[in-house]
Structure 1
């Protein structure tokens, strides 16, 4: 569990890089995806006093699955094209470009898990 703060989001990114280095896997895409998911957990998934969870899985086929679980299952992420003058809203478009697949798994109530698969054959 990581604190739902900017510091917790930064730690999630650093832990991702460290684990992938230990596994001998490239970390660039995973680092960016975790940065986005963790920032969203801190910004949009925040419930005071609740943390968020980072999950990293190295699968037998060499692919990596990243997961971030936060306490706001009622706020589901949507990858939408922001307006021309918008200063935010492009993060999930970046995730879609970097991941082979990504999605949201609801529950357990009141939580949700946002996940991405990277390097799937």
Structure 2
């Protein structure tokens, strides 16, 4: 995969807005996408990953998060690296009836694959979104 761009932001809730803009401002001018459902999906995914990093990890307690966009032959990968959560890693929970807690279920529905890996104390959460309309 080829790295298209990366951006490091402070772990503050307003950074989620900048993460979403980074997706659009990177992929459209680079002619990877010209809008549409795939761009919307990637924007929603980075919103979920960045929001989770700020809410559930040291990134939101004065830390930072890094967003990276990578291009494969037929997909775009978005990665969000956080400052770690004391060994806790992202996981799917049974879908709750409440208003929150469904984000990773939505990510799973929008992606060809998603997951996470440790990078020392930090966690990298990634998602692969096909460039084609079919998933």
Q: Tell whether the structures are fold-level matches, with TM greater than 0.5.
A: yes
**TM-score normalised by length of structure 1:** 0.88
Q: Which structure: greater strand fraction? A: 2
User: 1:83 deviation in Å?
Assistant: 2.9
**TM-score normalised by length of structure 2:** 0.80
Query: In the alignment, is residue 78 of structure 1 matched against residue 91 of structure 2?
Result: yes
The number of residues matched between the two structures is 118
Unaligned stretches of 5+ residues in structure 1: none
User: 1:82 deviation in Å?
Assistant: 3.0
- Counterpart in 2 of 1:65? 77
Spell out structure 1 runs of 4+ moving beyond 2 A: 46-49, 81-84
- Counterpart in 2 of 1:111? 122
Unaligned stretches of 5+ residues in structure 2: 1-7
User: 1:6 deviation in Å?
Assistant: 1.2
- Counterpart in 2 of 1:3? 10
When the two chains are superposed, the root-mean-square deviation of aligned CA atoms in Å is 1.6
Alpha-carbon distance between aligned partners in 2 of 1:37 and 1:16, rounded to the nearest angstrom: 13
User: 1:120 deviation in Å?
Assistant: 6.5
